[in-house]
Structure 1
Amino acid sequence: MQVIYVNRFLPSSRKQAVREIKRRASCDKFPRVLLFPEGTTTNGRNLISFQLGAFIPGYPIQPVIIRYPHVHFDQSWGNVSLGKLMFRMFTQFHNFFEVEYLPVIYPLDDKETAVHFRERTSRAIATALNAVQTGHSYGDIMLHMKAQEAKQENPSSFMVEMTKVESLFHISSTEAVDFLDKFLAMNPDPSGRVQYHDFLRVLRLKACPLSAKIFSFIDVEKSGTITFRQFLYGSAHVMSQPGFDQTFEEAFAGCGGAVKTYVVEQELRDFIQPAILNWSEDEVHEFFMLFDNDNDGRIDKNDFLSCLRRNPLLIAFFTPQPQQKEFEGNGVIEIV
């Protein structure tokens, strides 16, 4: 067996894997290339999003589906350890599985995109399996494992259908895990929800009108609590706005970065003063320390950008108050 190795977190490795798939699929010297398009294992009750690597080369695909008919124990490898899976399989007299070959699926023409080819193939397999298609991907497994490590009661509540998130906001699974780290620091309750005061604590904010509006922007249900999905969608939405980078540049320059390469605490305080009228010196210092990664009393441009990418909701404090806007649906509404 000649395995095609790939590091799913490195774009260069993924591109190399696609080239290798294309090379082997087009060469008679190799046997048929066997790919597992979901990129992980599931219990087979749903079909999660397929990876694009199998479809980019544009060659015909022979779909193969596997079923695990069972009476006592489902031996499909879902959310169960390998040791437990093997033990329970050994306690059964027989373990069955069925293999079904579906009709070969050909690309429609040279203009068909890999995404459309993937969707047609996924739909054919889901129909044969009588399974529901979802927008989950391996990124959701990463989120689930992170929540599990944090001893959350319901780790699956932190899965967000990463394929949809990546398509909407162009953020990676690794970035989503970083946002989950931030959210878990807010001490979610057993149902996976975070209270307003914990949200403020982790972002080092004080209760004020602007802080309340930021929280309300995420709390679309107006329940006084937020879920990870809401936090991720809200943060990613702000970061994906065309004006985000421009606002960052203008904010850094306005704080003093236009005349030198760094910003000190007093300059930061002066710039965001309209938004923090009732903040004490200690509260402003805590906010400043969120940006000062190396604790040298200065915020350089990299520190500033890095903090806002980790905490994009904070961009509201650096936007001129009369011009702060929030996107809602297809329109734009004033939030102050």
Structure 2
Amino acid sequence: MNGKLHSETGPTFSADDMRAQILNPFVHKLELDNTYDKIRTAIFTVILLPFRVIVILFLIVTAWFLACIGLYGLTEDDLREKPMTGWRRSLKPLICFIGKMSYLAGGMAITVRGRQVSRKEAPILVVAPHSSFLDSCIVYATKMSSVIVRKESMDNYVGKLINYTQPVYVWRDDPNSRQNTIKEIIERATSKEDWPQVLIFPEGTCTNRSCLITFKPGGFYPGVPVQPVTIRYPNAKDTVTWTWDGPGALKLLWLTLTQVHSSCEIEFLPVYYPSEEEKRDPKLYARNVRDVMAKALGVPVLDYTYDDCRLIAQAKQMGIPGGAFVREVSELRTLLGLTRTQPELDLARMGVQEQTRWVSAQEFAQRLGVPHDSRLLRLYKIFEHRTLGMVCFPDYLLCAVFLSIPHVTVSQLLEYAFKLYDTTGTGRLKMHNFEEVATRCLGLSHEEAQNTFRQADLDEKGYLTYEDFMSFFQNESDFSLNFIEAPQKKVQ
């Protein structure tokens, strides 16, 4: 496995390939969908989970205690000035062993393939895909390589263990944080001192491992050789994926610890030696390393970024229809040519009458003025009502408005929504129509929307106009504070 790789390897999946299949790397669905799984999980929760938790806690506390001993007498400045030596460094293999045992105690076996090269051969380890908090096992598998971590994350007892890796700190409050982080990575990677290898997750956020998203170039600025490292979880039930739309950390941890057995595979790929062109262009270097890793994993690449995650989270928080899929909606609208003409804005301004709210795929294509082809059908399926087999056209238009207007604000969305969900065309929304608006633009529950309607309908007219609601929205400080009109980062 110890060979040389260059950019000539070439990409495995081109942008054109991806046009045939739109993926969403930020969605993970996990449910106990049969009686057997539910009964087995319940039994193991009682007889297996407590034992595993006790053993894991014991091992973590032991590792933490050893880290405290190793860090005794050292300040954070000391950790950043020079690498550990002597007895402090000799504790690392023991801490790594205990860390691996904590995973084994939880039922997860870690298998390592390939060979980790020395720092002299590759000062930087590039790890992907990043899909779970359980990916931290890579720290133990790589002999406690230096991770990149936010300084705020260190303010807890686990911080001692992280500090023992001599991490590269990211200071969120520092406006020059990105430049300073890159500078420190360069210094570490090119130093003649025996620092630990720097370990980076270049995707910068968690995905569901269906593809590799855009690699941030920070770890590629030094222009030194890197060793790609892949992580797989080849389990029958995926209880580890922790991404933007899916189960929370506690549920995943519970379901993982109640599995009889689970596994993680870590593979060290051959060292990637950059060309002169890649050394001059860190983004090109990052893309080519991603292509090599995607080929090894057998997955496509997708030019999604952390900003896309934020957009999805924002759309979901506000209740925008299709919020979890706004990145795919944006991509499909581009493929259909809708981002150039933006017919949805004109359609939204006119409003949608009751009799034309629900549309078939053919009607959907006709209203948008686009071909009734596979791209249109994929867009249609995102908004299709499972029972009716049709699309609520106002839902699609509101999502398109959210994507079409740069830095769209809540008040702008509300103005469009009041027209879209006004089935009478009078500019007056009754309670059930207002519920549709409030759940889609303000992220309110139906009960919260009903209570808000009653508060805003001061004269008890039984309806609200856009002006009525905005007056209430602006005057009720307690209500307004929950919906600060921050500009939205758009995907183009």
Give me the TM-score of the superposition, normalised by structure 2: 0.35
Instruction: Find the structure with the greater CA-based Rg.
Output: 2
Q: Which has the higher contact order (CA 8 A, sep 6+)?
A: 2
Give me the TM-score of the superposition, normalised by structure 1: 0.49
